[in-house]
Amino acid sequence: MSKRLIDLQHISKSYDGQMVLDDLNLYIRENEFLTLLGPSGCGKTTTLRIIGGFESPDTGNVIFDGKDITSLAPNERQLNTVFQKYALFPHMSIAENIAFGLKIRKKSKAYIDDKIRYALKLVNLDGFEKRSVDSLSGGQQQRIAIARAIVNEPKVLLLDEPLGALDLKLRQDMQYELIRLKNELGITFIYVTHDQEEALTMSDTIVVMNQGYVQQIGTPEDIYNEPTNAFVADFIGESNIINGTMLHDRLVRILNVDFPCVDVGFGNQTPVDVVIRPEDVELVAPEKGMLQGEVTSLIFKGVHWEMEVLANGYEWLVHATQMQPLGSHVGICVDPFNIQIMNKPESNDEKAVESDA
């Protein structure tokens, strides 16, 4: 297990009386690709800026490799940041852009030239030294911004929505490039995004945030398959989130029908949230279903069909490779292992978290 590199302890931050982070505790391990994921205003970029030294917390401490760096300036920290707006200098060549930080640190010309060649090779832009910034595509500019950051040999690379300005194909290409770079460089990546697919594709660990609070921390598989609450379930991928009653261990009542499940420990006759992913809803002949419904919407998504099925007053979202015609009558089955049971929120704060999804 890698050692802890960064420890955020009891971090709080507010702007104009509005709490953005509320007693945040989070640690990041060496060589980890950790993604801060959540909707706009959830506190993820503020967290990144506090780690980078661009913001100071109102309370709490930032511990880096065992040392308290809360009051250190950004340039005194062993990390570099890549922003969504790449902040390249248009009047400088590519080589001059990459060399900028090294020149400030008064490195020798031979050292700088060697580092420029190494960084450009790493981001697959060998021979671009003399090119101007304006001659590059968005994806190439993004790579130069990353090259400029990695030549400084940071222990941590902070990336604030760095792929947001790119088109879909480039964004997907860059996701694979970032994974490759992280593995080759052996440094810690802390990545901010609101894009669930990006987070699921690249991360070792995902931190789901909302309204200044951490909702869940886990691997992409954990976050997707075992969401801790309705907000996480709804934010990570699509879900059917239905009011239910836990009758007793391993049996839940959904829409007046009793479904076997595998969850225990929720008590008897307990109101719960039931989460079922659309790919886990199985459409069968009406007489074979646990409940029956009618296909009310049908969209072809390339890999699968997306259907809505009205059953027992609820519009079920279904993803399936087999299409059922619009208006057809179908049965719905769900494997007990694919039914996720969650406690209802205990407070209005939690409900506010849920309703913002």
Q: Are residues 87 and 194 both part of a single domain?
A: yes
- Among residues of the chain, what percentage have pLDDT more than 90? 67
Are 48 and 196 in a shared domain?
A: yes
pLDDT in the model for residue 312: 97
Specify whether 128 is located in the same domain as 271. no
| Cα→Cα distances 158→33, 117, 194, 254, Å | 10, 22, 15, 44
User: Does residue 233 sit within a domain?
Assistant: no
The domain boundary, picked from 159, 190, 225, lies at 225
Number of domains, the chain: 2
pLDDT-derived band at 346, boundaries 50, 70, 90: low
Question: What are 193-196's contacts with CB under 8 Å, separation 24+?
Answer: 193/35, 193/36, 193/37, 193/161, 193/163, 193/164, 194/37, 194/38, 194/39, 194/40, 194/44, 194/161, 195/163, 196/37, 196/235, 196/236, 196/237
317 has a pLDDT exceeding 60: yes
Domain match, 218 and 320 both: no
Is the pLDDT reported for residue 294 higher than 50?
yes
Asked whether residue 231 is domain-assigned, the answer is no
Say how far apart CA 21 and CA 26 lie, in whole Å: 12
As a whole number, the mean pLDDT across the chain is 90
Residue 146 to residue 157: CA distance in whole angstroms: 9
pLDDT tens for each residue of 298-311: 999 999 999 999 99
Over the stretch 134-191, which tens digit does the pLDDT of each residue have?
888 888 888 888 888 888 888 999 999 888 777 788 788 888 888 988 888 889 999 9
Torsional sign, CA 1, 340, 249, 349: positive
Domain encompassing residue 288: 238-355
Beta bridge partners of 270: 246
d(C-alpha 93, C-alpha 136), whole Å = 11
**What is the model's pTM?**
0.85
Residue count of the chain, please give it.
357
